Amino acid sequence: MNEQALRHWSEQEQQHLARLLGITKEELDRLHHSGLQEVTDSEQQIYKYFIHFSGDANPPDILDKLDMDSHYTVYFSAEEWEAEQQKPL
């Protein structure tokens, strides 16, 4: 678990992130990752988010569930993240 990255996140935000990733909150807690990072344009508008996972430090059975690129990173559009946060848990 990456407690430092998630320390300031509410339980609900963590649950939303896990659901967006297609895993459970408990599985997310077992993973070492960067936390959700913002990608902004030249006007500082967020247009994408990403979360990077440490490949060697994580259970392969959970990593296999994630739609990662070859660098162990998952990307979400700002719209996907906003829509997920509007859904009830």
pLDDT confidence of residue 11: 85
Rounded to whole angstroms, how far apart are CA atoms 72 and 53?
5
Average the pLDDT over 12-31 and give the result.
Answer: 95
* Report field, pTM of the whole predicted structure over 0.85: no
pLDDT confidence of residue 89: 86
> Does residue 57 have a pLDDT over 90?
no
CA distances from 2 to 9, 45, 46, 86 (A): 11, 26, 23, 25
pLDDT confidence of residue 8: 60
Q: Give ∠ CA 62-63-69 in degrees, rounded to 5.
A: 155
> Does residue 3 have a pLDDT over 50?
no
- Which residue, 85, 76, 77, is CA-closest to 16? 85
Q: Considering the chain, what is the average pLDDT of its residues?
A: 89
Structural Rg of the chain based on CA atoms: 13
